[in-house]
Amino acid sequence: MAKQSSIRTLSAGSIGNFGEIYDFAVFGFSVPVLSAHFFPGSDRAAALLSTFAVYAVAFFARPLGGLLFGMMADKLGRVKVMATTVWLMALGTAVIGMLPTYADIGIAAPVLLVLCRIGQGLALGGETTGTTSFILESAPDDRRGGWIGLTLIFSHLPNALVAGLLIRLQLFAGASAYADWVWRVPFLAGGLIGIVGFWLRRNLDEPEEFKQATRKPGAKSPLRAAIREGGLRGMLNVAMIQPIQTVGSYLVLGFMYTFLVRVAKLDPTSALLTNATAIVLLSFMIPLGGVVSDRVGRKRVLSFGAVWIAFAAYPAVHLAASGTVMGALLGQLLLVVGVGLYGGACFVAAPEFFPTSFRATGHAISYQLSVAVFGGTTPFIGTLLVQLTGSPLAPAYYVAFVAVACLILTQFVPETRGVNLRTSAGPSYGGSSNVAAHELR
């Protein structure tokens, strides 16, 4: 692949991801103000839990979006799906910025908010798998982890940039004006980002790997192939390695800011700054994890990352709950080192479990179900555990438990570094024969 084509491929995948994740990040960081506008009442904890439940709704729409867009990506191509999902996400975000509140239209306001979140979830369900498959199949075989990791920088940086944007808006407009109407501005800006994402993706070429894999006539339905030709084993493999990456990420991305404000009693600006700093580190730890997994193998990095998270969970949450800016910063940084390294290997291994002909379908179902069960519920479970136990450290035990479970399960999945993408690890999922065959091609 020519250098210019490589840059174009990475740019389109990365910046398109940026727009998609920006939209999700705006909602996550806006939970406190959204709870006041769409779930008013004297019980602030109940309003917060209700808003986190709406946050989780989009994650449960992701498996359906992943299935629909995953099959489209396998039948019609990765590029068409990538262009479609960026529009759908941008529309859902922009509409949230224009919604009337509970004070204006009553119960219809949270209902409309839920519908917008469903649209966002459908879009992100297709976006993640479509872009991951596109980049994986475009990358050099010995640099797949590094390429996937580079695009994921732009899947996480929006969270930090959104935090910075909200800080600037709050300082410029004032806390009162921001809580009243300025909070809508970042949502409306999400619609504009969608236009940029579509422009970057509209004329991309499909990966040669995908073209060759789908060239034969009379190809089976991707869903049928995924079920009958070993895809269920690949889905099980994803389900075994994905949970702790999802729980760890969304503890930082969707829970920690609200935790710092509501539980640790940190002022919102300091909470945003520390959270943004941690997310920046997370963004750059993921490609490092991908590069290392290209050198030493996916399973070694996964195992190391899971051990780190298991041991870091308690001190990380303890520091974050201290009520000090330094404690909040150090706690989050401690956690994201392990989450980032683990994620760098996890994000490339998951699609490598499936052959090219039904990669998007198999990956979408398993990945999005895992994210729905563990990611969308993490902020809710974290908040609920604090409420039920009265201890701000309760979320740490949940994270450590999931990390240990994934460490054990990871030992039972195949190594996919260098595997032949056309056949993946094959029906036996042993991997070695296909690696050898690929090296002889």
pTM value? 0.81
Q: Please report, for the chain, how many H helices and E strands are present, in that order.
A: 20, 0
DSSP secondary structure code for residue 207 in this structure: P
The answer to whether 59 and 371 have CB atoms below 8 angstroms apart is: yes
Asked, for residue 18, whether it belongs to a domain, the answer is: yes
Asked, for residue 115, whether it belongs to a domain, the answer is: yes
The answer to whether 206 and 115 have CB atoms below 8 angstroms apart is: no
DSSP secondary structure code for residue 184 in this structure: H
What does the buried/exposed string (b/e) look like for 332-342 if buried means 16 or more CB atoms within 10 Å of the residue's CB? bbbbbbbbbbb
pLDDT (average), residues 161-185: 85
The letter for the amino acid at 293 is S
The first and second tokens of residue 119, run together, are 């649209």
The percentage of the chain sitting over the pLDDT mark of 90, rounded to a whole number, equals 29
Asked, for residue 332, whether it belongs to a domain, the answer is: yes
Least confident of 107-121, 194-208, 247-261: 194-208
Asked, for residue 213, whether it belongs to a domain, the answer is: no
Q: CATH number of the domain that 84 lies in?
A: 1.20.1250.20
Asked, for residue 151, whether it belongs to a domain, the answer is: yes
The torsion defined by the Cα of 177, 181, 186 and 191, in degrees rounded to 10, comes to -160
Q: Which of 67-76, 226-235, 302-311, 413-422 has the highest mean pLDDT?
A: 302-311
Higher pLDDT pick, 46 / 384: 384
What sections of 251-324 are H helices per DSSP?
A: 256-262, 268-296, 298-320
Overall domain count for the chain:
1
Total residues found in the chain within this entry: 441
pLDDT for residue 373: 84
Asked, for residue 253, whether it belongs to a domain, the answer is: yes
The torsion defined by the Cα of 354, 369, 194 and 160, in degrees rounded to 10, comes to -100
Asked, for residue 211, whether it belongs to a domain, the answer is: no
CA–CA dist 193, 191 (Å, integer)? 5
pLDDT for residue 341: 97
Asked, for residue 214, whether it belongs to a domain, the answer is: no
CA–CA dist 127, 219 (Å, integer)? 24
CA–CA dist 130, 136 (Å, integer)? 10
Q: Which domain holds residue 290?
A: 7-203+221-440
The answer to whether 313 and 256 have CB atoms below 8 angstroms apart is: no
pLDDT (tens digit per residue) in 76-97: 888 888 888 888 888 888 898 8
pLDDT (tens digit per residue) in 183-242: 899 888 888 877 777 777 777 888 888 888 776 655 567 777 777 766 789 999 999 999
3-state secondary structure of 53: helix
